[in-house]
Amino acid sequence: MPRDTTPTMTSVEGSSDEALLARYASGDGEAARLLVDRLAPRIHRLALRLLQDRAEAEDVTQEALLRLWRIAPRWVAGGAQPSTWLHRVAVNLATDRLRRRRGVGLDTIDEPDDPAPSVVDTMIEGQRLRALDDALALLPERQRVAVVLRHLEGMTNPEIAASMGLGVEAVESLTARGKRRLTELLMGRREELGYRG
């Protein structure tokens, strides 16, 4: 009886992202499906938080993945992880879009005082993460980008500064102001969100 050399679902699913990318480059369509399921939702969430526009977030996710597929045959094993690489590409694509939206650099327009009402009115009860996303959506754009990249994506201030085309001090200022505003927006629902004090 001939031995079945086809990799089992389990062995493929247990592969690293890098191994899956190599499999994709050698023509394994299943590897692409697994990579999409592993990497795309996180990238899409990041893009959505930055851009606050579902269609644009999908465009960014799609473009970032297209770049990953294109580079797959030349991917250098042992370097950056595909997830890290994809994250960086997505951040750059999203911040480029934000710049184009404004028509000028992200650093050239003063942040207006945000006139939006408290997020309390629109928050779904008990859903803290939804409340956070709602509050983020109400932040001025640059503050939102800085807070998301610093506190939700774990990027360093110099990395954020490079992505946004700003100085490190400007990023620190934006992050601090963004956090203050978030606190104000979420303050009214502290007990509902499960935080006491």
Partner 1 sequence: MTGEHEKSADSGLEALFAEARQAPPSPLDAAFRTRLIEDAARLAQASRIRRPGLWSRLFARLADPQRAPGVAGVAAAGVAGLWIGLSGPGMTGELITQVWQGVAPAAAWSGDETAVFTQSGSDLLALLGDEEP
Measured from the CB atom, the residue of 9 and 187 that comes closer to partner 1 is 187
The amino acid at 140:
P
102 binds partner 1 (CB under 8 A): no
Q: Are 164 and 145 in contact (CB under 8 A)?
A: yes
Short-list 9, 42, 28, 12, CA closest to 73: 28
Helix (H) / strand (E) containing 190: none
Out of 66, 80, 104, 116, the only residue in the binding site for partner 1 (CB under 8 A) is: 66
Measured from the CB atom, the residue of 88 and 151 that comes closer to partner 1 is 151
Measured from the CB atom, the residue of 142 and 181 that comes closer to partner 1 is 181
- C-alpha span between 106 and 10 (Å, rounded): 45
- C-alpha span between 142 and 151 (Å, rounded): 14
* Residue 172 burial by Cβ neighbours in a 10 Å radius (0-12, 13-18, 19+): middle
Out of 13, 16, 41, 126, the only residue in the binding site for partner 1 (CB under 8 A) is: 41
191 binds partner 1 (CB under 8 A): no
- C-alpha span between 22 and 24 (Å, rounded): 5
Out of 17, 40, 90, 140, the only residue in the binding site for partner 1 (CB under 8 A) is: 40
Measured from the CB atom, the residue of 68 and 170 that comes closer to partner 1 is 68
- Token pair for 66: 């297209």
Smallest separation (angstroms) from partner 1 to the CB of 184: 9
Measured from the CB atom, the residue of 28 and 96 that comes closer to partner 1 is 28
Please, what is the Cα angle at 33 between 32 and 39, to 5 degrees?
85
85 binds partner 1 (CB under 8 A): no
Smallest separation (angstroms) from partner 1 to the CB of 122: 17
127 binds partner 1 (CB under 8 A): no
190 binds partner 1 (CB under 8 A): yes
| DSSP letters spanning 144-177 | HHHHIIIIIS---HHHHHHHHT--HHHHHHHHHH
User: Where on the chain is the footprint of partner 1 (CB under 8 A)?
Assistant: 24, 27, 29, 32-33, 35-37, 40-42, 44-45, 58, 61-62, 65-66, 69-70, 73, 128-129, 132, 151-152, 154, 179, 182-183, 186-187, 190, 193, 195, 197
